[in-house]
Chain A
Amino acid sequence: MTVVLESRALSKRYGKRPGLTDCTLSIPAGRIAGLVGPNGAGKTTLLNLAVGLLAPTSGTIEVLGGTPASSSEQLARVGFVAQDTPTYAGLTVADHLKLGARMNPGWDAKLATHRIESLRLDPRQRAGKLSGGQRAQLALTLAIAKRPEFLVLDEPVASLDPLARREFLQGLMEATVEQELSVLISSHLVADLERVCDYLILLTDSRVLLAGDVDDLLATHRLLTGPRRDKAALPAQWQIISESHTDRQSTLLVRAADPVTDPAWAVDQISMEDLVLAYMSKAAITPDRNRTLEVQR
């Protein structure tokens, strides 16, 4: 299995504020990896580290086997769509394509013009006059037409309406299939990524909570409903992610490699969104977190 991104104990601090803490990750190649987490969790920090816009405070990160942004060859292999999809407001769409052509040796002019045409963008229009969705598409075109091996997108759909969101993600899917890209895309909304991702990384409070293949994650997490039981009575190999109890009934989210055979439990599949929410609320009630809250009070 080849790896597009490998980090070890990666940390980034902004002065005293942690941006990312002790992040050890290994993202396999050929995947569309979704990076999920609430606002301020450190998603942008991780992505900026991956494309070399930031340097780590400690730890290491390797992308496609090299240090991010260390050379023009390394830069050419990674495409990036930054948060809020920045473009030069005063430059036209055609100017942006020219910029891409002049600054990237592997530029695919045919692909770029084809995309701009199929998106029905006017090449003479200034980027400042484009709608949010059009600007995001322009930024994606720039990132794709440089023919990267690894495409990194930072909340590309955050400011788009539902239709533009769908179109953008669709365009992304098509491009990844055609070009055999590896993708790392972040969003604070799981629903955005549910349809496109096959790998998931959950980031909360500048830490990685969960990372893995989506199918594996969904197959090993189960929602169990049954008669009320004590925690001690549960199988030891079960990892309890969340639990809620009434007088007679217990509802558990467990992570277990083996199927649940006890007929007392009603077993349900869990959606990716519920899974993510369960992990996030678990993180929110860990003792560590409680202490900091008390101190703040």
Chain B
Amino acid sequence: MMWLTWRQFRTQAIVAAAGLAAAAIVLLVSGVSLADKFHASIAGCAAHGSCAQLAGNFLQSLRGSSYQAVALVITVLIYVAPALIGVFWGAPLITREIETGTLRLTWTQSVTRTRWLAVKVGSIGLVAMASAGLLALMASWWINPVYEASMKANARADALYRLSPPEFGVNGIAPIGYAAFGFALGLTLGVLIRRTLPAMAATLAVFAGIQVGWPQLIRPHLLTPLRSSMQITAANIDSLMMGGPSSHTMIVTAAFHKPGAWILSRQAVNAAGRPFTGPPTKACESGGIQACNASISRLHLRQIVTYQPGSRYWAFQWYETAIFVAVALLLVWFCYWRVSRRRLT
């Protein structure tokens, strides 16, 4: 059974191994030079107390560089990999055998169909998880200088924190869970739909939906977010949006600097504690920035911030990995049940 699994899977395995090797070479070469660059940028900064400044300069220097391109490619790759695993490894696993009729050949050899499924799903699933884990490990190592610089630097728009999306999904161990889930999802939809192309399309659609919805709707609530309240002053306003002349709205936010934190929401409230959305002050409608900021300051607004602190990074990683692996196991169990009930041919 192992032999047949390998014989049928070897082309995909070679493609995956080649892809991993190519990624490893690129990440190794570019990662070593990125780490060197980072260490050179902040060398001796502790003695001068200029670490925040130098780390900021380092982040600034990455803009438009080839490193940014590598980061983009690797991010896309790690996000797409579990979907590809589901679409090309999971979905066709059973549907292709149904379509070519070979299931009737394989399932009448002296190997029970549940054993057939266990060997196939076990081995290919583990390869999928190992590939995703390896890729994420390499990516985590590669991007580490950027995370370190972001933690050292003062609040910057280009700071990257590993807990915030999209960073969270491309490092640590969560990609292992995504790969297991993607594979099991493809397998399950294949078992249910029984035709390769529709199963592939459904896998892609469902996986993409979960990938988009999850970080917005579910992940923030895995642990209760922290709340922080702060005075909005002329000095800390970092964005101001006003509607048209007749809409009377003004949205104001203040800088919230907590390195590593994943900010979920920022809401201005007035002295009575009600959400503040306008109307704009006179100074803001007509005057300059200075006068406008000063006028906002006089409104005595506060900002309520909900966020997940950076220290919860590993807790989130473990929770997320455990959830996705558990769902994958449930799906596999369902397929196992379905296959043993002989509903397929």
> Nearest Cβ distance between residue A197 and chain B, in whole angstroms?
22
Say whether A80 contacts B100, CB under 8 Å: no
Is there a chain B Cβ closer than 8 Å to A284's Cβ? no
A55/B342 contact (C-beta < 8 A), A69-B112, A95-B7 known = yes
Is there a chain A Cβ closer than 8 Å to B105's Cβ? yes
Which of B8, B105, B106, B115 interacts with A72 by CB under 8 Å?
Answer: B115
Q: Which chain B residue shows the least CB distance to A76?
A: B110
Is there a chain B Cβ closer than 8 Å to A109's Cβ? no
A71/B108 contact (C-beta < 8 A), A98-B3, A99-B4 known = no
> Nearest Cβ distance between residue B118 and chain A, in whole angstroms?
13
Say whether A53 contacts B110, CB under 8 Å: no
Query: In the complex the two chains form, what is the Cα distance from A118 to B26 in whole Å?
Result: 54
Is there a chain B Cβ closer than 8 Å to A251's Cβ? no
Q: Mark A63-85, 1 if CB is under 8 A from B, else 0.
A: 00000010111011011101110
Q: Mark A87-106, 1 if CB is under 8 A from B, else 0.
A: 11101000100111011111
Tell me the B328-345 residues at the A interface (CB within 8 Å): 341-342, 345
Which of B102, B105, B110 interacts with A105 by CB under 8 Å?
Answer: B110
Which residues of B are found within 8 Å of A99, using beta-carbon distances? 3-4, 7, 109
Which of B1, B102, B108, B112 interacts with A78 by CB under 8 Å?
Answer: B108
Say whether B7 contacts A103, CB under 8 Å: no
Is there a chain B Cβ closer than 8 Å to A54's Cβ? yes
Say whether B104 contacts A80, CB under 8 Å: yes
Query: In the complex the two chains form, what is the Cα distance from A95 to B106 in whole Å?
Result: 13
A75/B111 contact (C-beta < 8 A), A82-B105, A86-B105 known = yes
Query: In the complex the two chains form, what is the Cα distance from A130 to B196 in whole Å?
Result: 24
Is there a chain B Cβ closer than 8 Å to A146's Cβ? yes
Is there a chain B Cβ closer than 8 Å to A52's Cβ? yes
> Nearest Cβ distance between residue B94 and chain A, in whole angstroms?
14
Query: In the complex the two chains form, what is the Cα distance from A83 to B111 in whole Å?
Result: 20
**A contacts with B, residue count (CB < 8 A):** 35
A88/B104 contact (C-beta < 8 A), A55-B341, A76-B110, A99-B4 known = no
Which residues of A are found within 8 Å of B101, using beta-carbon distances? 82-84, 86
Query: In the complex the two chains form, what is the Cα distance from A86 to B101 in whole Å?
Result: 6
Say whether A71 contacts B112, CB under 8 Å: yes
Q: Which chain B residue shows the least CB distance to A71?
A: B112
Say whether B7 contacts A104, CB under 8 Å: no
Say whether A146 contacts B342, CB under 8 Å: no
Q: A80, A84, A88 — which one has the most chain B CB atoms within 10 A of its CB?
A: A88
A146/B102 contact (C-beta < 8 A), A55-B342, A99-B4, A103-B4 known = no
Query: In the complex the two chains form, what is the Cα distance from A95 to B8 in whole Å?
Result: 11
Is there a chain A Cβ closer than 8 Å to B107's Cβ? yes
Q: Which chain B residue shows the least CB distance to A142?
A: B105
Query: In the complex the two chains form, what is the Cα distance from A98 to B5 in whole Å?
Result: 12
Is there a chain B Cβ closer than 8 Å to A10's Cβ? no
Say whether A86 contacts B102, CB under 8 Å: yes
Which residues of A are found within 8 Å of B105, using beta-carbon distances? 82, 86-88, 139, 142
Is there a chain B Cβ closer than 8 Å to A51's Cβ? yes
Say whether A106 contacts B113, CB under 8 Å: no
Say whether B109 contacts A146, CB under 8 Å: yes
Is there a chain B Cβ closer than 8 Å to A186's Cβ? no
Query: In the complex the two chains form, what is the Cα distance from A179 to B4 in whole Å?
Result: 27
Query: In the complex the two chains form, what is the Cα distance from A76 to B115 in whole Å?
Result: 14
Query: In the complex the two chains form, what is the Cα distance from A48 to B105 in whole Å?
Result: 12
Which residues of B are found within 8 Å of A105, using beta-carbon distances? 110
Query: In the complex the two chains form, what is the Cα distance from A5 to B104 in whole Å?
Result: 20
Q: Which chain B residue shows the least CB distance to A88?
A: B102
> Nearest Cβ distance between residue A138 and chain B, in whole angstroms?
10
Q: Mark B1-15, 1 if CB is under 8 A from A, else 0.
A: 111100110000000
Query: In the complex the two chains form, what is the Cα distance from A78 to B345 in whole Å?
Result: 18
Which residues of A are found within 8 Å of B111, using beta-carbon distances? 72, 75, 103
A86/B104 contact (C-beta < 8 A), A53-B342, A55-B341 known = yes
Q: Which chain A residue shows the least CB distance to B344?
A: A53
Say whether B110 contacts A106, CB under 8 Å: yes
Q: Which chain B residue shows the least CB distance to A75?
A: B110
Query: In the complex the two chains form, what is the Cα distance from A68 to B4 in whole Å?
Result: 23
Tell me the A125-164 residues at the B interface (CB within 8 Å): 139, 142, 146
Which residues of A are found within 8 Å of B110, using beta-carbon distances? 72-73, 75-76, 103-106, 146
Listed by A's residue number, 28 A-B pairs whose Cβ atoms lie within 8 Å are: A53-B108, A53-B345, A54-B342, A55-B341, A55-B342, A69-B107, A69-B108, A71-B112, A72-B112, A75-B110, A76-B110, A78-B108, A82-B101, A82-B104, A82-B108, A86-B104, A91-B7, A95-B7, A98-B3, A99-B3, A99-B4, A99-B7, A102-B1, A102-B2, A103-B1, A105-B110, A106-B110, A139-B105
Binding site for A on B (CB under 8 A): 1-4, 7-8, 100-102, 104-113, 115, 341-342, 345
Supplied contacts A69-B107, A82-B101, A83-B101, 13 more A-B pairs, CB within 8 Å = A52-B108, A53-B108, A55-B342, A75-B109, A84-B101, A86-B105, A88-B100, A88-B105, A89-B100, A99-B109, A102-B2, A104-B110, A142-B105
List the 8 shortest-distance A-B pairs measured between CB atoms, nearest first.
A86-B101, A76-B110, A103-B109, A82-B104, A80-B108, A104-B110, A102-B3, A55-B342
